[in-house]
Structure 1
Amino acid sequence: MKQFITFVKKEFYHVLRDRRTLLILFGMPLAQIVIFGFALTNEVKNARIVIVDHAKDDASRSIIDRIGASNFFEIREDVMDRNRMETAFKEGKIKLAILFPANFQRDLFHQNHAPIQVIADASDPNYATTLTNYVSSIIQDYQTELNETVALPYRITPQLRMLYNPQLKGAPNFVPGVMALVLMLVSVMMTAISIVREKETGTLEILLVSPFKPVWVILSKAVPYLILSLVNVLSIVLMSVFVLQLPVEGSWLLLFAESTLFIVTCLTLGIFISIKTKSQQVAMLISLMGMLLPTMMFSGFMFPIENMPVPLQIISNVVPAKWFYIIVKSIMIKGVGFAAIWKETLILLGIALFFFVISLRSFKIRLE
């Protein structure tokens, strides 16, 4: 254990005396939080929705058929009570709900006015706005067709309700994305060059002849970056709460526990890259290009995954940032507990164990 602590201290010294490393570790998160102040608006396809039709009349069915015929929406269920609907929103299974009141057609034809309630998950404000605009457009088209045949125009009023983010702020979308992006880049890149640095400086030979076991060498490389990454998590969360006025709706303990798991996953991936490469330049290039684009493209941070072709949706499942992005949004924005994110947690745990075992086996072979 004394040897392990000595190796951890040595790794801390490497980090703390390098100003460029400190700039990457602590400057990048703060810069990303400031820069990512605007979210992108994208076309939406195949958004998961539910429709609750209490009217079950010709008018409601006609609108439902129009919604189902569009490629914007994927109707998951046409009957759902309010409790199940709330659970589905929290678990991220649906993005929008449309509720038709009883006597919808009668109110429309006799009173020339009928409401439709539209409930959207506004944890991603641009996505929610786009969905509600699509629904309003479909309803408006139906209303226009009706008014062509009557003297007194009918009026259907969608009643919009934005869950989790009524003001449609951008922060609830980009803060979880920045957390995933920064932790992925910092954790992977810093650990990716750690063992390679030992190779280039010649100190790896000392490790090869020492009685220090390979697993302790790997852990001693990972522990300092785990601690520093947790400091990054704390700084991002504090900035989101006190600067961006984005409170953490769920458990802080659960948020940090899940962040720790994601950091460990990134560290094992970085160690794997470090073992497989022979120079710091190659390790840094692989960690930057190999992690930056997948995190940006396949995490759901920049572009909705539902818009992508099925093969790309399948590929996104192996990107750890996708699952962490879902977890952070669920905890910070929706205030859910572990019961709603246990599947994503198990996936991250599986990825971490996979890369740790592969790294350990590769390191043993290299020692022989």
Structure 2
Amino acid sequence: MKTFFSFIKKEFRHIFRDRRTILIVLVMPVVQIILFGFAVSTEVHNARVDVVGDSNDPAVRQIVERIDRNPYLNVEAVYESVSEVPERFRQGRADVAVCFERNFDERLHHYGQASVRLLGDGSDPNTAQMIVNYVNGVLSDVQSELGTQGDSPQAAFPHVQYMYNPAVRSSYNFVPGVMGLILMLVCSMMTAISIVREKESGTMELLLVSPIRPIGVIISKAIPYLVLSLVNLVTILLLARFVLGVPLRGSLLLLSVVSVLFILASLGIGLLISVISSTQKTALLISGMGLTMPTMIFSGIIFPCESMPVVLQYVSDIIPAKWYIIMVKKVMIEGVGFGYIYQEFTILLLMTLFLLAVSVRLFKRRL
């Protein structure tokens, strides 16, 4: 029995001597429960609502005040023409538009019926449906009050329409997210493992003493994964268009440029992981914890970033996949041009240059 307990004691010592095991067994569950507890939420806070109607109409003004008092909704703008709604959606300034017909108050009190139409941004169907439900809740309260006052309860019953995605297909949301996740993992994880494999086996030094300069060695290691990522991009786009029915309303050239930029950013991350990793196991661990989970949580693939605490929203801003997914949705689903995504493109470009510069600089020093 004493021998048996000595083996148990030995195993505990092995575990506590290995920092990676302690990180996985004790630290990672704490980090996961904190992140999932605060970041994972299906609620949408501070949803942006536009109102289309006469701001001087008493009934319209009353309903707008009720919407703005809702803790989940913020009225951003009130204008008279529904033709402005698509432009507001493309600029990312509104999530839902509540459209009142002309002479809403007069039709409401004299005829007992007045139509309300809800226009949601269907490029993100999950978030749009949630916000529409919030607005519907406010209108239902108004409808109930009208019923108690003797007016027709049909007055506040809305007609819902989702722009860019009338059928509210979930593929419109997850296809851009999957594109970002796949390209990120293929480029960064495979690049890091490939370079670390050379360092671990001792062959990297042999490559560096070859006639090719060190930067040439790094580029030659990264180019195959760039090509494979482009093949993956073409495959995903073909499947999304002809199998899943996701449209490509924007420029294919613009989408390709954005994707290549994101691939370069992912290669920069892979080089950075290779710098701080001495073994393939370490590279895999960093890629798994440092890329897969944060990308899925903080890029908006599954959960809206707007529903997270402010601190975690700042964390999401440093995830390159977030900006790439935003641009892919705008180009593929909304069909916008470069003028509508130049801010996200600039942020991703700066991230790419920074990652590549830091990675190459540290890599040369380390070797």
TM-score with structure 2 length normalisation? 0.85
Find the aligned partners of 2:313 and 2:93 in 1 and give their Cα distance: 16
Find the aligned partners of 1:156 and 1:187 in 2 and give their Cα distance: 51
Cα displacement (A) at 1:145? 1.2
CA separation of 1:107/1:121 partners in 2, compared to 1, >3 Å: closer, same or farther?
same
Find the aligned partners of 1:262 and 1:80 in 2 and give their Cα distance: 40
Cα displacement (A) at 1:306? 0.9
Alignment coverage as a number of residue pairs:
328
Cα displacement (A) at 1:290? 0.6
Partner of 1:161: 161
Which runs of 5 or more structure 1 residues have no equivalent in the other structure? 1-39
Find the aligned partners of 2:213 and 2:234 in 1 and give their Cα distance: 32
8 Å Cα contact 1:46/1:73 also seen in 2: yes
For the pair 1:292 / 2:292, whether they are aligned, the reply is yes
Structure 2 residue identity aligned to 1:189: M
Cα displacement (A) at 1:92? 2.3
Find the aligned partners of 1:135 and 1:220 in 2 and give their Cα distance: 54
Find the aligned partners of 2:42 and 2:51 in 1 and give their Cα distance: 23
Partner of 1:19: none
SS at match of 1:145: helix
8 Å Cα contact 2:52/2:100 also seen in 1: yes
Q: 5 Å matches for 1:17-96?
A: 42-54=42-54, 56-79=56-79, 81-96=81-96
Find the aligned partners of 2:189 and 2:358 in 1 and give their Cα distance: 18
CA separation of 1:295/1:80 partners in 2, compared to 1, >3 Å: closer, same or farther?
farther
Find the aligned partners of 2:262 and 2:217 in 1 and give their Cα distance: 21
Structure 1 residue identity aligned to 2:179: M
SS at match of 2:75: strand
Find the aligned partners of 1:267 and 1:194 in 2 and give their Cα distance: 12
CA separation of 1:200/1:154 partners in 2, compared to 1, >3 Å: closer, same or farther?
closer
CA separation of 1:41/1:129 partners in 2, compared to 1, >3 Å: closer, same or farther?
farther
Q: 1:105-135 CA distances to partner (integer Å, 9 max, x unpaired)?
A: 1100000000112111011222222222221
Cα displacement (A) at 1:153? 5.1
Over the aligned positions, Cα root-mean-square deviation in angstroms equals: 1.8
Partner of 2:177: 177
Structure 2 residue identity aligned to 1:241: R
Find the aligned partners of 2:284 and 2:245 in 1 and give their Cα distance: 35
8 Å Cα contact 2:55/2:78 also seen in 1: no
Cα displacement (A) at 1:363? 2.0
For the pair 1:277 / 2:293, whether they are aligned, the reply is no
SS at match of 2:42: coil
Q: 1:309-362 CA distances to partner (integer Å, 9 max, x unpaired)?
A: 111111111000100110111111111111111111111111111111111211
CA separation of 1:124/1:201 partners in 2, compared to 1, >3 Å: closer, same or farther?
same
Cα displacement (A) at 1:149? 2.4
Find the aligned partners of 1:335 and 1:155 in 2 and give their Cα distance: 35
Find the aligned partners of 2:243 and 2:128 in 1 and give their Cα distance: 24
Find the aligned partners of 2:151 and 2:106 in 1 and give their Cα distance: 17
SS at match of 1:48: strand
Which runs of 5 or more structure 2 residues have no equivalent in the other structure? 1-39
Cα displacement (A) at 1:83? 4.8
In the TM superposition, structure 1's runs of 4+ consecutive aligned residues that sit over 6 Å from their partners are none
Find the aligned partners of 2:269 and 2:241 in 1 and give their Cα distance: 30
Partner of 1:7: none
Find the aligned partners of 1:123 and 1:80 in 2 and give their Cα distance: 24
Partner of 2:217: 217
SS at match of 2:114: strand
Partner of 1:194: 194
SS at match of 2:79: coil
SS at match of 2:250: coil
Q: 1:82-102 CA distances to partner (integer Å, 9 max, x unpaired)?
A: 454322211322111112222
